[in-house]
A = this chain, B = another copy of it.
C-alpha cells in the first residue's frame, strides 16, 4: 500500500528516472504528465525517441551524432579543414556552433580518460582521431576543447603528448573569469588560471 502505482506506471516512472537530473519525484511528475494529457503528447514523445533511434548514428569521420553520412559539418565545403576541435560530447559541438566563432571541423571523443572510472584511451574515440590525422595531411591544428575537469585536462594532455614532434599544433581553450561574473565569486583555480593567462591590453 505504500506505493500506489500500477505496473505500467511504475515501468514508465523507472524509465524516466534513468534520465540525467531526474529523480524519483521528478519522474513521477513527468509520468503523470505524460499520461494525463490526451494521448498525443505520449505518442509524439515515443515516436520522436524511436525515430531518433532509427535515424541517428555516429558520423564515420568525426563521431558526432548525425542523420547523414558523413555529417553536415564533415561534408561541408565551407569549413576550414586545417583545424579540428576535439570535444568530449556531441552537446559541446552545439555550444561551440552557437557562438559562430569557429569554422573548422570537429572530433567527438564520447568521453574523457578517467582511471577512476576505468576509462582508458581505448574506451573513447581516440583511435578514430589518430587514424583521421594519419589519413589526412591537411590538419595543422587540434583545438583540445575537452572540459576543464581533471578528466578533461588529463585527456587534453594525453593527446598533446601523442602529437608532440609532429607538425600538428595542439591548443587548449583559454581559462579565466567568466564574462559578466564577479572576481569575488571566482574559485581559486579559475582565478589562478586567469592570472597566468593575463594579457596586455
| Interface size classification for chain A | 35 or more
Whole-angstrom distance between the alpha carbons of A143 and B65 in the complex? 53
Task: Indicate which residue in B4, B20, B29, B45 contacts A15 across the interface (CB closer than 8 Å).
Answer: B45
Distance in angstroms between the alpha carbons of A65 and B10 in the assembled complex: 12
A67 CB, min distance to chain B CBs, angstroms:
4
A91–B15 touching, CB < 8 Å: no
Q: Of all chain B residues, which has the CB nearest A92?
A: B32
A27 to B70, alpha carbons, bound, how many Å? 25
CB distance from A90 to the nearest CB of B (A): 6
- Residues of A at the B interface (CB closer than 8 Å) are 1-9, 11-12, 14-16, 18-21, 26, 28-36, 39, 41-56, 65-68, 72-73, 89-91, 93-94, 97-98, 100, 110
